[in-house]
Structure formats: structure tokens, C-alpha cells
Amino acid sequence: MRMAKSFTIDPEVNRFVEATKGERSASERVNELLRRAIVEEQNEKLELEAAAFFAGVPQSEREEAKAFRKASIRAITRDE
């Protein structure tokens, strides 16, 4: 269900929406852009969380993980 809301949009944003909406309404184009922006912000948040998580991993463990990954790849390709 859609709701009617009122927001103020900067003139340059409005020009962009008008120029890129195609056959759709301006509201549909704005909703599309907002959904894309939401996904982008969610991805940025996940990247920050991942960076914070992996920042706590010592370098020695990262090297061990790389070595394990390489050995696993070698074992898998050898079995094929």
C-alpha cells in the first residue's frame, strides 16, 4: 500500500528525476532511487561491521586462514 507523503526536494534532484524517469511517474522514479539508496546504505553498514569484525583478527590468524584456503583449493582440484 502506498502512502501520500510530502517532502521537499532540491531543484537539482528534481531535474535529475524528471530527466531519468522515462515513461514512469516521478513518484515511481523517486521510489526506485530511494530503494537503491537504502540498499547502498545497508551495504555500507555491512562493510563497516565486517571491517570492525576482521580488525580484531591478528595477522597470524589471517596468514593461517590463507594457507588453509590454498591447501583446500589444491585438495579440491586434485580430487576432480
Distance, CA of 46 to CA of 13 (rounded, Å): 27
Q: Quote the pLDDT of residue 71.
A: 87
Separation between Cα atoms, residue 14 and residue 2, nearest integer Å: 20
At residue 80 the predicted structure's pLDDT band, cuts being 50, 70 and 90, is low
Q: How does pLDDT run across 22-57, given as a tens digit for each residue?
A: 999 999 999 999 999 999 999 999 999 988 887 877
Are residues 29 and 17 in contact, defined by beta-carbon separation less than 8 angstroms? yes
Annotated domain spans of the chain: 11-79
